[in-house]
Structure 1
Amino acid sequence: MSKFRQLLEPGSIAVVGVSDEAARPGSQAVRALLANGYQGKIYPVNPKYPQFEGLSCYPSVTAISETVDVVVIGVPAKAVLTVLEECAAKKVPFAVILSGGFRETGAEGIEREQRMLQIAREGGVRLIGPNCLGLVNIHSDVYAAFGSMTRAPKLKRGGVSLLTQSGGFGYSIALACAQAGIGFRHVIATGNESDIDTVQLIEALLEDDATECIVAYIEGTNDGRALLDAGRRALAAGKPILLWKGGVTEQGARAAASHTASMTGSYDFYQALFKQTGIVEIGELHEAVDYLRAFASAKYPQGRGVVIMGVSGGSAIVFADAGERVGMKMCELDADTQARLSGVVPAIGAVHNPIDLTAGYFNKANQEKLEKAIRAALDDPNAGALCINLATTGKSGSIAAAEVLRRVAPDTDKPIVVFSSAPPSEVGAALQMLDEAGIPVFPSPARAARALAALAAYHERRADIAAEAGRQAQQASAQNIGAALDSIVQSHGSLSEAQSKAILQAAGIPVTRDIFVTSGNTAGLENLSFPLVAKVVSPDIPHKTEAGGVKVGIANRAELDSAIAEVLDNARRHAPHARIDGVLVSEMVRSGFELIAGVVNDEVFGPVVVVGAGGIYAELLGDSSCRLAPFGVDTARQMLDELQCRRILDGVRGAAPLDVDAAARALAALSHFAWDARHCVREVDINPLFVVEDGVLAADALVVPSMRADLH
């Protein structure tokens, strides 16, 4: 946070654009600073006023003799540039531009924003905005903001920092959380993010000891890699990030001709990033509230098994249904646990999971029995978490249960959650006790289940990334590809299949046995085993089948000679001006399952590896998974496990299981190659990638170099 300390903890603030008009942004900012007891110096700026709200009012920023940490700008867009020039002249480090009228308004606004950024950069001024509501530091009473962020109710102090590209909607998240009693550290609306963006602020807040959890609403980022790095740092630091991605239905704007590029959209890349960082995706206001409540306990499920205990059978069923959809399950209780429960659960109840305590069980007289039941459930080795269904239990019963849970909670590392649908006006005292004990309460069993799933996924990802990082340190990157990269850089378009497969083989991806045949040179064909495939080799014909440039099932030498002549003839007719290098003859793969694998070098996220069902399933299922490169074998296995076709790889209807481990190794190798070659490869398409009983084989491949202007 050091480089943004003056922005987030300013000792002095100048506000440009104050006025007697109460609705003016600058006026709102000064009044909010005064009303909330800001202890730093405030300098209103407007040449028309000698004073404003009892403070000396200055004609310009440069007229202020004292040091200014932050200038809040609330003047019309056309006047912003002049104010920024004054900030630069005074060497003000930060400006918060509330004003709209920039790139969101069209061509003139775009030009104005570019000029604004140029002035700021030349003058060493860092910017929040423009077109934003500003920022608030609740702990230090800093209100460099206007609009809803300055109005009642005042947010209470806490450990949550909120970042939002949309000020109005983003603040709705803050208000929903505030109604649930959640406190805040910072609320920052970033607007157009002309300079300082959400990712940079996440990085700063990770260094802020008072920020325990970060919530962000974004519509997009220009640097997916920076978000990936920030997400991993947050995971290592144990600071959860809850992220709401707006615009999830928009497809990525990539003009690509391969199968790989059409298998995903930009939102898929965000989802891949979430899985690789532990960033928790939210998409509803109540999810922000629920997950913040859950993470506040800093306790994580020790496995996906949950014990459900309460007085409502229907609540248990709803929890179980919702839990199964998100990977949580009711665990089996061992015999010792059930024996302990039998002594404290009524005979008409149930000591298996869900544990039925029967109606009226939650009362003062049963507190000792309830405590024994809860401790028995938490001690069960299969239990990763505990859900107590109070359901409609009233005031006295809820208080009795809360008193027991308050005693038990400090003695366990397993999370305890509570479902209560009783009105807060009736059970408020119990809710207060549970909150003080760090036990989240949810208004529905389904929401309790989903909150536990979020905790479990975060905890698992944290362990997975730590373990994989250790293994990746031992894992070689793409193998001997130096010469291959040179050939890519020197190329002028798509590489041929022969060149592409040679490069991928050097990168550690097994390929079929091939012989490259040119006019008058058929050496080596005798070493191949029939049946064979013959394919024309041309950097100008990326899709050979459409050109009639492929013949399969070649059974003998006579058929092979005929096939070679035929594919060459077809290719010349299809593309008379194409460069034709020869024919690639390959051993035909007669078994296994076809996958499509490849790389898209996205302008925001960099190289992304995609894998999906191939062959007849490619269009039928639309079945794919992706991750940001590079990654290890564990992540590659997770990708394969996400595919609908995954069960086929294990062998179905008597078929032998296929080599999933080899497929995972190939994907990991592809990811390292993609990362090493990110400056010179735009795309890779392996179609098909055969998974067989004892390995994988790339039967066809295409490597597309970047345009020469893109090479670094």
Structure 2
Amino acid sequence: MKKFQHLLEPRSVAVVGVSDDAVRPGSQAVRALIKNGYAGTIYPVNPKYPEFEGLKCYAAVADIPTAIDLVVIGVPAQGVLPVLEQCAAKKVPYVVVLSGGFRESGPEGIEREDRMMEIARAAGIRIIGPNCLGFANIHSNVYAAFGSITRAPKLQKGSVSLVTQSGGFGYSIALACAEAGIGFRHVIATGNETDVDTVELIDALIDDEATSCIVAYIEGSRDGRRLLEVGRRALAAGKPVLLWKGGVTEQGARAAASHTASMTGTYDFYKALFKQTGIIEIQELHETVDYLKALLPGKYPAGRGAAVMGVSGGSAIVFADAGERVGVNMCELAPATQERLVKVVPNIGAVHNPIDLTAGYFSPANQEKLAEAVRAVLADPGADSLCVNLATTGKAGSLAAAEVLGRVAKETDRPIVVFSSAPASEIGDALAHFAQAGIPVLPSPSRAARALGVLAGYREMRAKLGAAAAPLDTGSVELTNELKQLAAQGALSETQSKSILSRAGVPVSKDVVVQSVDGSVFERMSAPLVVKIVSRDIPHKTEIGGVKIGIRTRAALEQAIAEVLDNAKARAPHAAIEGVMVSEMVRGGFELIAGVVNDEVFGPVVVVGAGGIYTEILRDTSCRIAPFGESTAREMLDELNCRRILDGVRGGPALDVAAAANSLAALSQFAWAGRDVVQEVDVNPIFVLPQGAVAVDALIILRDAPSAAAH
């Protein structure tokens, strides 16, 4: 890994702030480096000590006679800046600031942190922290850290790297994994992330050959767009990223702000990002353990069909229930498979799925029969994965099963998982065999099912990698130049908004704008008609009586035009009236609401949901980060609870889902092309019809411009 090589693999480390006080961060860091056998040079720094732990102790960083790859600062906050200035003078490339007392502590801390970054940027120093526990490279015994990570139990070497904004909680994740036998490459706590952040480290770890899986805990990200790109790069590299997003509720977000002063983005947007990148969301410690156990062997099911065999019928039922919730289905075994099973399964058992091997089957005497049964199932075209339920099987039976499954696992690329509830003290030898064979053992059948669901979902994301990407529509790019000219207007009028969206590829209704009472347009349109006031200063036309619907005669049209003009003048006297829009009323179909929010973390995000009377009642929405193509737009529609309505209900015709998806994709292209100009887009409603889709009302609000309310 070229980037951060001398941060994570330093040839020399200076630690500022050592003392006889064992709890001081600097003291803990030096002792951890010595205890764990760090092979590089260690320079303790404190003017009060001639030596520390048998090493020469220097009065200051400036006094160290040689170049230094990494300086770890563990002094009180007010002493950090002078040390950093010495690091700058000495051209130190990397610094870890363990000290707290920066932006998480208030205005004075914010000022101190800003000055810290000024010094670092001017000198080209990269900083981990401040307010962090530091990091450990388990393979190279580098412990630039203090706190729990430096204490027993020592993490074992492995291929999982962990990056965490919260050092304390992040190490809880590491300990839970270590307890399950999972080893680590790097454990990095980033704290305030003033400089180097979680996303940049994930990006670097993708290129680390010794890292196969990445786990991250974040409370917020400054650049959700970059996280999107990094997630896709990790997916392309085949390195699963498991991410725990803290601060997903209002209360959690407040806690995050007080903890590391992180900016917490909207959770819905993070969930969209997970779906667009293959990043696996984790929300519990045991999920981290289960999913890593399943992912580390590197075997992925070709489909979502699963076979279950074992000695507990109840376990199979629980697996099936949990599997259905995550899209893992109990497959139908082929007749040929069942014929093979009949020869090795007791008569009182069952050879359909789930396969009942009957009590006592797992034993040394039945090893050959078990091997034949497992091979038969794994050869079945519908069995993409296999769960073996040992349940409470004891020491001898579990070991016999482990020996068989370990041999058979080498012959197949289909994942095998095991459910066992027997205590580790009883079946330790079997667990060792399973671990050596790369067979995950889970403590419940439902957790086994969910782990297989994660494997299936990850494989599917890799299979469609790139399919969701959409080439940028140059027409949308050209429209942004027009929008820049209009930026001083704030919200555009409905007429302007619909004109622009139409040219961007979003179909809109047939409209005619008149400046005064004009009944002649009735002859050019098909009744019933809708009349709406046109003004960029009136975003909510209905509230001021600016909308009339269901108009069927010329006389009614003339009256409606006159009324909306009068209402606008009376109820919005300062509004600039551009005219009155006469539109053909769209009938039939189903109303959706679609829009764009230009989020400060993620950029433009497209949202779609049930429209009309269902908007507030159902709150049925889906979102994705722009831009995207039709396949992603279809996924959005498929997630809606109202999706079945689009297929036709109670004898009604099926509606044009493809047209709706194309409209969403076009909207996303427009939003991305205009990301520097467009703040919001509201398309409400967009009718999905038996043939086509049509936006009836739309409003575009531009960035950095006066709002409609200000006029």
Q: Identify which range, 327-336 or 488-497, moves more after superposition.
A: 488-497
Deviation at 1:407, TM superposition (A): 1.3
SS at match of 1:362: coil
**CA offsets, 1:6-33, max 9 Å, x none?**
1111000000001111111001100110
Are residues 1:65 and 2:65 paired?
yes
Deviation at 1:487, TM superposition (A): 3.5
Deviation at 1:525, TM superposition (A): 4.7
Match of 2:589 among 592, 616, 629: 592
Which AA in structure 2 matches 1:235? L
Q: Identify which range, 632-641 or 335-344, moves more after superposition.
A: 335-344
Distance 1:334 1:573 in 2: 76
Distance 1:38 1:398 in 2: 40
Match of 1:649 in 2: 646
CA contact (8 A) 1:252 1:265 kept: no
Calculate percent identity across the aligned residue pairs. 69
Distance 2:690 2:16 in 1: 71
Distance 1:658 1:48 in 2: 79
Count how many residue pairs are aligned between Structure 1 and Structure 2. Answer: 696
- Once the two structures are superposed, the pairs formed by residues 34-53 of structure 1 within 5 Å of their partners are 34-53=34-53
Deviation at 1:467, TM superposition (A): 3.3
Moved over 4 A (4+): 520-525
Are residues 1:482 and 2:478 paired?
yes
CA contact (8 A) 1:309 1:387 kept: yes
Deviation at 1:479, TM superposition (A): 3.1
Match of 1:707 in 2: 704
**CA offsets, 1:487-546, max 9 Å, x none?**
354332100001000011001010011111113777755321111101000000001111
Distance 1:655 1:421 in 2: 52
- Report the CA distance shift for 1:480/1:209 in structure 2 as closer, same or farther (over 3 A): closer
CA contact (8 A) 1:568 1:583 kept: yes
- Report the CA distance shift for 1:478/1:332 in structure 2 as closer, same or farther (over 3 A): farther
Which AA in structure 2 matches 1:490? L
SS at match of 1:479: helix
CA contact (8 A) 2:519 2:557 kept: no
Match of 2:468 in 1: 468
Match of 1:531 among 528, 532, 546: 528
Match of 1:326 in 2: 326
Match of 1:512 among 505, 509, 513: 509
- Once the two structures are superposed, the pairs formed by residues 270-419 of structure 1 within 5 Å of their partners are 270-419=270-419
SS at match of 2:88: helix
Structure 1 unmatched runs, 5+ = 254-263
- Report the CA distance shift for 1:548/1:88 in structure 2 as closer, same or farther (over 3 A): same
**CA offsets, 1:361-385, max 9 Å, x none?**
1112211211111111111111111
Distance 2:85 2:343 in 1: 78
Distance 1:252 1:620 in 2: 26
Q: Identify which range, 403-412 or 670-679, moves more after superposition.
A: 403-412
Deviation at 1:413, TM superposition (A): 1.4
CA contact (8 A) 1:11 1:40 kept: yes
CA contact (8 A) 2:535 2:579 kept: yes
Which AA in structure 2 matches 1:675? W
Distance 1:541 1:284 in 2: 47
Are residues 1:174 and 2:170 paired?
no
Deviation at 1:252, TM superposition (A): 12
Distance 1:52 1:228 in 2: 46
Deviation at 1:483, TM superposition (A): 4.5
Q: Identify which range, 362-371 or 560-569, moves more after superposition.
A: 362-371
Which AA in structure 1 matches 2:185? R
Match of 2:676 in 1: 679
CA contact (8 A) 2:220 2:265 kept: no
Deviation at 1:403, TM superposition (A): 1.2
Match of 1:556 among 553, 557, 561: 553
**CA offsets, 1:283-306, max 9 Å, x none?**
111111111100011111221111
CA contact (8 A) 1:307 1:353 kept: yes
Distance 1:650 1:487 in 2: 37
SS at match of 1:22: coil
Which AA in structure 1 matches 2:631? D
CA contact (8 A) 2:467 2:631 kept: no
CA contact (8 A) 1:481 1:507 kept: no
Distance 2:63 2:688 in 1: 73
Match of 2:562 among 560, 565, 576: 565
Which AA in structure 2 matches 1:281? E
CA contact (8 A) 1:251 1:266 kept: no
SS at match of 1:468: coil
Match of 2:260 in 1: none
CA contact (8 A) 1:496 1:538 kept: yes
Structure 2 unmatched runs, 5+ = 254-263
Distance 2:346 2:251 in 1: 57
Match of 1:26 in 2: 26
**CA offsets, 1:13-59, max 9 Å, x none?**
00000111111100110011000110001011111111111111111
SS at match of 2:475: coil
Match of 2:658 among 650, 656, 661: 661
CA contact (8 A) 1:88 1:123 kept: yes
**Structure 1 vs Structure 2 CA RMSD:** 1.7
Which AA in structure 2 matches 1:17? G
**CA offsets, 1:250-307, max 9 Å, x none?**
3999xxxxxxxxxx98100000000000000001111111111000111112211110
Match of 2:258 in 1: none
Match of 1:260 in 2: none
Match of 1:579 in 2: 576
- Report the CA distance shift for 1:111/1:265 in structure 2 as closer, same or farther (over 3 A): closer
Distance 1:371 1:466 in 2: 40
Deviation at 1:242, TM superposition (A): 0.4
Which AA in structure 2 matches 1:606? G
Distance 2:524 2:375 in 1: 70
Distance 1:480 1:8 in 2: 44
- Report the CA distance shift for 1:252/1:134 in structure 2 as closer, same or farther (over 3 A): closer
Deviation at 1:3, TM superposition (A): 2.9
CA contact (8 A) 1:305 1:383 kept: yes
SS at match of 1:662: helix
Q: Identify which range, 264-273 or 385-394, moves more after superposition.
A: 264-273
Which AA in structure 2 matches 1:151? R
Match of 1:160 in 2: 160
CA contact (8 A) 2:138 2:156 kept: yes
Distance 1:503 1:607 in 2: 17
- Report the CA distance shift for 1:340/1:489 in structure 2 as closer, same or farther (over 3 A): farther
Distance 1:214 1:187 in 2: 10
Deviation at 1:623, TM superposition (A): 0.3
- Report the CA distance shift for 1:566/1:628 in structure 2 as closer, same or farther (over 3 A): same
CA contact (8 A) 2:490 2:706 kept: no
Which AA in structure 2 matches 1:248? V
SS at match of 2:71: strand
Are residues 1:637 and 2:627 paired?
no
Which AA in structure 2 matches 1:655? G
**CA offsets, 1:323-380, max 9 Å, x none?**
1111111111122211221121111111111111111111122112111111111111
Are residues 1:209 and 2:236 paired?
no
Match of 1:125 in 2: 125
